[in-house]
Amino acid sequence: MQKKIAILGSTGSIGTQALDVIKAHPGAFSVEVLTANNNVELLIEQALKYQPNIVAIANKDNYPLLRDALAGEPIKVYAGAEAISQVAATGTVDMVLSSMVGFSGLLPTIRALEAGISVALANKETLVVAGDLIMDLSHSKNAALIPVDSEHSAIFQCLQGEQNNPVEKIMLTASGGPFRGKSVDFLRKVTRCQALNHPNWKMGDKVTIDSASLMNKGLEAIEARWLFNLKPEQIEVVVHPQSIIHSMVQFADGSIKAQMGLPDMRLPIQYALSYPNRLRSSLPRFKFADFPSLTFEKADVDVFRNLSMAFEAMRQGGNMPCALNAANEVAVDAFLSGKSGFVEMSSIIEQSIAKCGFIAKPSFSDYIETDKEARALASSLIRT
């Protein structure tokens, strides 16, 4: 039977690659729902090609164009953030791929889990912001949460068949981004174009900047803490420039399992959509002869302060990771729009979370308010 997929964020990097996977396996998957934030032209193109049951656009200003373009098709058309949250819980959906960017992915993921729908999670911010709430929902509703990020997919795969074996620690690998080995003085002069030139991965702008600043690895560490029920001290970040080993698990006996492959997000996407089965693919194969040297080094947290700030927020717990995420989203947007320097992003985040009120056991409404507060604090620090 075909698995009916809802792709939240279908016009982004993960969403478009997920559609490539679905296209390659028409017998295994069909597209039930497609949503986008603002890219209405590509959403129209995807809808005409894949003929989903439902499409939704977050930006209501684009609704008339979307509606008129699909008027002759048997496709239901909706608009607005609330509509996207509602279609995430569509009863005909077998799995939701949550690949929306940032905080916006939280509520749709909650709605899908509340409906008992399995979620393939590519939106790490969902667990960064409200990991306790999300994991409780996943367990109480018996709705699987399958990681899509290459690092978390690697850990997930290494843990298969190891349910009763205690984990000593996990090692999240990081490429180091385009500025590995550079100094703070160098980073002060970094341009938008330089920061968006990742050496190994093709990703959306926000994730690419996070990778360049190592914030992405910090957010991944917080996500891993919730996904795999770990303590902060059980999570280590290792810089691995070749991006062949996607992450590792060390068990209580000292043995280490690693998941390897060429850096291509279609592989973890396909694994998440097809789990627990592995489908054949025509993706390029890794050859050891092509990589005679795989190297590893420590992350430089003195230069890349975002990583240490993320670990500190994880150790503090409560609403601090939520504040960190909100301030980071504002800072990254400021950098991309030319209103902040690369190094300034760290200062904006640090000052924002220092001023944000701490809540040890936040409710959902507390997360919403923390997000608003941290964004306001960060915005006040950005030059106009």
pLDDT surpasses 90 at 349: yes
Q: Is residue 196 domain-resident? A: yes
H-helix or E-strand containing 90? Answer: none
Q: How many domains is the chain built from?
A: 3
Instruction: Confirm whether pTM is higher than 0.95.
Output: no
Residues 6+ apart with CB under 8 A from 112: 6, 88, 89, 93, 96, 98, 119, 143
Tokens 């478009």 belong to which residue? Answer: 16
Per-residue confidence (pLDDT) for residue 204, from 0 to 100:
81
Write out the H or E segment, with its range, that includes residue 126.
Answer: helix 125-140
Q: What size, in residues, is the chain? A: 384
Structural domain including 121 reads 3-147
141 and 238 co-located in one domain: no
Q: What is the DSSP string of 163-223?
A: TTS-EEEEEEEE--GGGTT--HHHHHT--HHHHT--SS----HHHHHHHHHTHHHHHHHHH
In this predicted structure, the answer to whether residue 295 has a pLDDT above a threshold of 80 is yes
| CB proximity list for 61: less than 8 A, separation 6 or greater | none
Q: Among the three residues 124, 147, 170, which one is the final residue of a domain in this structure? A: 147
Whether pLDDT at 33 is above 80: yes
Q: 212 with 87, same domain?
A: no
C-alpha–C-alpha distance, residues 353 and 136, integer Å: 26
Give which of 340, 321, 320, 343 is closest to 330, Cα–Cα. 340
The answer, yes or no, to whether residue 124 has pLDDT greater than 90, is: no
Q: Is 255 in the same domain as 364?
A: no
Judgement on whether residues 173 and 253 belong to the same structural domain of the protein = yes
84, 203: one domain = no
Residues 68 and 164 in one domain: no
The DSSP 8-state label assigned to residue 152 in this structure reads: H
Same domain (yes/no): 165, 179: yes
Q: What is the CATH number of the domain that holds 369?
A: 1.10.1740.10
CATH number at residue 51: 3.40.50.720
Q: Is the pLDDT of residue 203 over 90?
A: no
Same domain, 240 and 292: yes
Amino acid letter, residue 18 = A
Beta bridge partners of 34: 7, 55
